[in-house]
């Protein structure tokens, strides 16, 4: 099972103001999952192909980050639950050193007022246990990360 924007679990950037943008790139892939098992957690810190969100806005400002605790993946069988783990850092090159970003928490854009600033997020997570009776097929859903000044 793959979580690939825009094919399966969609990373939909939403921004609260026109001067704030959020772009998403990358792929989160679970590969083939087997019924009757619990798929491995895909780490946002160590998975080199983890989707990355880049928030760009007025430097130095505080952003509030929100997302739902779970996302539902639907397909030909019982819906599956995806539990996201979001990590972030002020440097796009510091994925492995990034820290957990809980929904409702705040982060600071790089730079100072009057200049552009950035903050980077990586998405990982886990699927719920796959029942042994799970119908094979493609399962899709939506994950939304929101940032606001």
Given a cut of 60, whether residue 5 has pLDDT beyond it is no
pLDDT-above-70 percentage for the chain: 87
pLDDT of residue 9: 41
DSSP assignment of the chain? -EE-TTTSEEEEEEESSTT-EEEEE--EE--S--TTS-PPPB-TTT-TT--EEEEEEETT-EEEEE--S-EEEBSSSS-EEEEEEEEEES-TT-GGG-EE--TT-EEE-SS-TTSEEEEEEEEEEEEPP--TTPPPS--BEEEEEEEE-
12-58: pLDDT as tens digits: 455 554 478 888 887 676 777 888 888 778 888 888 888 899 999 98
Give 1 or 66, the one with higher predicted confidence.
Answer: 66
Would you place residue 7 in the very low, low, confident or very high pLDDT band (cuts 50, 70, 90)? very low
């Amino acid at each position: 099972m793959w979580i690939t924007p825009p094919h399966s679990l969609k990373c939909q950037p939403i921004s609260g103001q026109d001067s704030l943008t959020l772009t998403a790139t990358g792929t989160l892939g679970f590969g083939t999952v087997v019924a009757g098992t619990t798929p491995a957690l895909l780490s946002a810190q160590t998975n080199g192909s983890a989707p990355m969100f880049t928030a760009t806005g007025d430097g130095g400002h505080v952003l509030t980050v929100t997302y739902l605790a779970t996302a539902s993946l639907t397909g030909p069988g019982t819906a599956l639950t995806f539990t996201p783990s979001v990590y972030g850092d002020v440097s796009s090159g510091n994925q492995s050193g990034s820290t957990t970003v809980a929904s409702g928490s705040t982060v600071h854009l790089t730079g100072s007022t009057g200049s552009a600033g950035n903050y980077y997020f990586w998405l990982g997570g886990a699927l719920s246990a796959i029942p042994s009776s799970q119908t094979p097929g493609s399962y899709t859903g939506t994950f939304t990360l929101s940032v606001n000044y």
